[in-house]
Structure 1
Amino acid sequence: MKEPFKWDDYSDQPALLQDKKYKKSMRKKERYSLIKTFFTALFILPVTLVAMPFIKRKQIDSSEFFCMGVDFQRESDLTLKIIHDFKIKRILVRIKLWEMDSLDELKDFLLKCPDKKVTLKIMQDREHVEDLELLENDLRTIFSSLDGLIDIYEIGSTINRSKWGFFSVNEYSNFYQRAYDLKMSEFPNITLIGSGVIDFEYHFTAHTLFNFFKYKYDGVASLLYVDRRGAPENMQMGFSLSDKIAYLSTMVWMSKKSKHALHITETNWPLSGTAPYAPTSEHECIDEESYADFMLRYHMLAFASQQVDSLSWHQLIAKGYGLIDNIEGMRYRPAFTTYKYMVQTLQHAQFLRLDITRDYYILQCLIDGQLLQIHWTLKPTTLKNEDFFTVYSRNGELITDETLNIGSSPLYIFITNATPKKVNCL
């Protein structure tokens, strides 16, 4: 990456910018865009909040909802074997614009998984942000080389973090505009998504969706992390994960710049004791059992929103946050089995409803005509295992105990009776 930007190979992200003088000068240079971000958010965010109750729900295709982030340069043979074993239909891969020489390697990888729908996250560096001619040439090369292999192109990532190369929404909009113009002139059939804001910083999102640039999105990409708040149900400024999704979806729905499609293209929790591979400090890290629980509950809440078209878990193999730990060999973390059972159970599910009563959650859906309830609670309790229940743990293990312990680890309860009695906690 162009100095003073450096890539951190441990956490798979740019290193923090150490040149404070440079950061200050760049923010000063982009102050007018930052002012526009402020005033756009000042108007759009309250209006969006008022419009939230009127948001239109969709019927999400569960077979394409689940998406796994993979690194095509990391244990590629094992990666291909696992994603085929998962039977997952959608994967996300990343390419670095400053490593265009890896394009042929990426293409070879994609040719080995022709049955997968692929989202390609195109990651920027400062050189491509500044040199838009270079950006256009490299995008043209990517679009031409991978023609027919990519379902969705995500243009840019993490635009509200200066270490990723952008210092304002205007810089990102100029960047995305080049991709959009290239699509319209030479590649009309490709699908482009953008915005790429990380975390619950929707003032940046508002500016990407409400401005005077002449581009459109085929959908909005969000890196909706909630790891700094702990559990996915935890509040931030009065908003839970479900609220954040509804808020974002409403903003997308209101904007004339985007189709009403929302893709969460990156989220995870960092794992305790994995520094320097964890992408955050130890304060945000959690143990592996909590990681599996949080991951499953995040997916259930996002699926229940019926507003997220796809959710990409970041990622399959990573020392500090992956389903597989590759610090010493290949160690499959508990979340690996949790993810596999979730996808193979729910990839053809029809969502019915989500009930929440005093921090007790029941997600209900139909699978091949059979009712499935997924139970978890933030306040541990017990439930009688009824005759019409067939119960599995989060990892797919059959549970035959007369009393079910309901807690932070979700249970899958298949209802085998067409007209079951009302389920009551003990």
Structure 2
Amino acid sequence: KKVIIRLMKEPYIWDNYSDQPYPLQDKDYKKRMRKSQLFSLVKTFFISLFVLPFSIIMTPFVKRKKINSSDFFCLGLDFEREPKEALEMLRELEIERVLLRVKLWEMDKLPLLREFILKCKDKKITLKILQDREHIEDLLLLQKDLETIFSTLSPYVDMFEIGSTINRAKWGFFSVDEYIRFYQVAYDLKKSKFKDIKLIGSGVIDFEYHFTAHTLFNSLEYRFDGTSSLLYVDRRGAPENMQMGFTLQDKISLLSTMVWLSPKSEHELHITETNWPISGTAPYAPTSEYECVSEELYADFMLRYHLLALASQQVDSLSWHQLIASGYGLVDARDVLRKRKAFKVYKYMLKTLKDAQFLRLDIKRGYYILQFLVENQLLQIHWSLRPTTLKKEDYFNVFSYSGKKIEDTKLSIGSSPLYIFIENETKKKDLGEV
């Protein structure tokens, strides 16, 4: 068979190990392009200078929503990577929402993507459309290819995320204005030909909300049907750790406030990518070894991130990146497919919480208790940043984070959350006093 190799155009190069572009090596090109977008960069600064402080002030006044837990959990995957096994794992997990990617420089793979999506017809699909510099510069080409994507896939896709990682030059954008022109093409197609499709953006990565502020507050004629964010916190270590005085919950609250205040977006917030890189997996890990964590901590952090985001009642969906990825996924693809511990943790989390009703979150001296109602039974999920113990009461039904029943009379509460079902509600006591 003739092998067709599809490449991004230089100076952009795609890294198949970590599923992202390599950093730009042509520094002169990068400097020249940033200089050409100076006006937009100045706009970003001045818009954020007003929007961010005002949003911080308004954050306490934003009401929580009632989040549908079954729609909250979403799992990203590569439709070309072990597709048969991936579909089997999706069935095993019984997940109801998945996120797929399509690369604009690989339009010839659209039939293959459509075939995969049809095999996921019982699931809600979020499709992330990845850009390249060619489509950013040639908006007529972008219009043609977006129209092809929408025509081919809109009957099967719940929402399209237009663009990704817009605040990293290696992904092709050098300013927010460039992204807005890019998104405007998709929005104009929605208005003229595809009125029923749902478009989300702007896909800013990390805690760099000055870029998000620019996309949400300007005078141009477009709207998002929801705001997307790649809210990674892996460089800070544990999901509870602070950055500039903001915890993960604070970051979510601030972003939700910006969305709530914005005239450009419906009040929906979708975290469409997050994970932790795994130690000892280079060159598959997307960061250096310094940021990597063990497989045990990866499972802990993954579960705790989901729990904190769900407890915020401000995130409509959270997509874990991703199912099969040697450097950061639930399944290691080196040599043979190997389900990591995190796969079992994710499976039990889904089984237990996808129909749960969130009640409250209590935090005291680094000890966390989340309470849910699961099939009319009270569930508490406990973990602690400082290892401690808790007496197991007679009316506790306790499971590990992977679903193993625990019979110990003294419970070790630490990094790995425990699921504690309260069997007899008339006997339960207030466990907030830990």
Smaller-chain TM-score bracket: over 0.9
Alpha-carbon distance in 2 for matches of 1:201, 1:193: 18
Match of 1:54 in 2: 61
The question of 1:423 aligning with 2:427 is answered no
Match of 2:52 in 1: 45
Match of 1:130 in 2: 137
RMSD: 0.8
Could you tell me whether the CA contact under 8 Å between 2:205 and 2:232 is conserved in 1? yes
Q: Structure 1 unaligned segments of length 5 or more: list them.
A: none
The question of 1:64 aligning with 2:71 is answered yes
The question of 1:29 aligning with 2:36 is answered yes
Match of 1:116 in 2: 123
The question of 1:371 aligning with 2:378 is answered yes
Could you tell me whether the CA contact under 8 Å between 2:362 and 2:432 is conserved in 1? no
Q: For 1:142, what is the secondary structure of its paired residue?
A: helix
Q: For 1:270, what is the secondary structure of its paired residue?
A: coil
What are the Cα deviations for residues 75-116 of structure 1, in whole angstroms up to 9, with x where unaligned? 001111111111111000000000001100000001111110
Q: Normalised by the size of structure 1, how large is the TM-score?
A: 0.99
Q: 1:421 offset after TM fit, Å?
A: 2.0
Match of 2:152 in 1: 145
Q: 1:423 offset after TM fit, Å?
A: 2.8
The amino acid that maps onto 1:88 is I
Within 5 A, what are the aligned runs for 1:288-307?
A: 288-307=295-314
Within 5 A, what are the aligned runs for 1:222-237?
A: 222-237=229-244
Alpha-carbon distance in 2 for matches of 1:104, 1:170: 32
The question of 1:201 aligning with 2:208 is answered yes
Alpha-carbon distance in 2 for matches of 1:414, 1:328: 39
The question of 1:413 aligning with 2:420 is answered yes
Match of 1:351 in 2: 358
Q: For 1:121, what is the secondary structure of its paired residue?
A: strand
Match of 1:9 in 2: 16
Alpha-carbon distance in 1 for matches of 2:307, 2:430: 22
Q: 1:425 offset after TM fit, Å?
A: 7.2
The question of 1:404 aligning with 2:411 is answered yes
Match of 1:308 in 2: 315
Q: 1:418 offset after TM fit, Å?
A: 1.3
What are the Cα deviations for residues 8-31 of structure 1, in whole angstroms up to 9, with x where unaligned? 111100000000000000000000
The amino acid that maps onto 2:350 is V
Alpha-carbon distance in 2 for matches of 1:354, 1:164: 37
Task: Pick the aligned partner of 2:100 from 93, 101, 108.
Answer: 93
Alpha-carbon distance in 2 for matches of 1:257, 1:423: 43
The amino acid that maps onto 1:126 is R
Match of 2:262 in 1: 255
Alpha-carbon distance in 2 for matches of 1:276, 1:212: 43
Q: Structure 2 unaligned segments of length 5 or more: list them.
A: 1-7
Task: Pick the aligned partner of 1:73 from 77, 80, 101.
Answer: 80
Alpha-carbon distance in 2 for matches of 1:17, 1:225: 21
The amino acid that maps onto 1:160 is N
Aligned residue pairs total 426
What are the Cα deviations for residues 122-157 of structure 1, in whole angstroms up to 9, with x where unaligned? 000000000000000000000001131100000000
Could you tell me whether the CA contact under 8 Å between 1:391 and 1:400 is conserved in 2? yes
Moved over 3 A (4+): none
Match of 1:191 in 2: 198
The amino acid that maps onto 2:150 is F
The question of 1:211 aligning with 2:211 is answered no
The amino acid that maps onto 2:199 is L
Alpha-carbon distance in 1 for matches of 2:161, 2:139: 17
Alpha-carbon distance in 1 for matches of 2:351, 2:403: 10
Alpha-carbon distance in 2 for matches of 1:133, 1:74: 31
Alpha-carbon distance in 2 for matches of 1:367, 1:268: 27
Alpha-carbon distance in 2 for matches of 1:132, 1:320: 34
Q: For 1:99, what is the secondary structure of its paired residue?
A: helix
Q: 1:334 offset after TM fit, Å?
A: 0.6
Identity %: 67
Q: 1:213 offset after TM fit, Å?
A: 1.6
What are the Cα deviations for residues 386-415 of structure 1, in whole angstroms up to 9, with x where unaligned? 011000000000001000000010000000
Alpha-carbon distance in 1 for matches of 2:120, 2:432: 46
Q: For 1:5, what is the secondary structure of its paired residue?
A: coil
Alpha-carbon distance in 1 for matches of 2:265, 2:425: 42
Q: For 1:193, what is the secondary structure of its paired residue?
A: strand
Q: For 2:250, what is the secondary structure of its paired residue?
A: helix
Could you tell me whether the CA contact under 8 Å between 2:369 and 2:432 is conserved in 1? no
Could you tell me whether the CA contact under 8 Å between 1:177 and 1:213 is conserved in 2? no
Alpha-carbon distance in 1 for matches of 2:50, 2:103: 35
Alpha-carbon distance in 2 for matches of 1:319, 1:101: 26
Could you tell me whether the CA contact under 8 Å between 1:383 and 1:424 is conserved in 2? no
The amino acid that maps onto 1:387 is D
The amino acid that maps onto 2:63 is K
Could you tell me whether the CA contact under 8 Å between 1:383 and 1:425 is conserved in 2? no
What are the Cα deviations for residues 275-323 of structure 1, in whole angstroms up to 9, with x where unaligned? 1110011110000000000000000000000000000000000010000
Q: 1:422 offset after TM fit, Å?
A: 2.9
Alpha-carbon distance in 1 for matches of 2:268, 2:360: 21
Alpha-carbon distance in 2 for matches of 1:423, 1:178: 53
Alpha-carbon distance in 2 for matches of 1:195, 1:124: 12
Q: 1:338 offset after TM fit, Å?
A: 0.3
Alpha-carbon distance in 2 for matches of 1:218, 1:147: 15
The question of 1:386 aligning with 2:397 is answered no
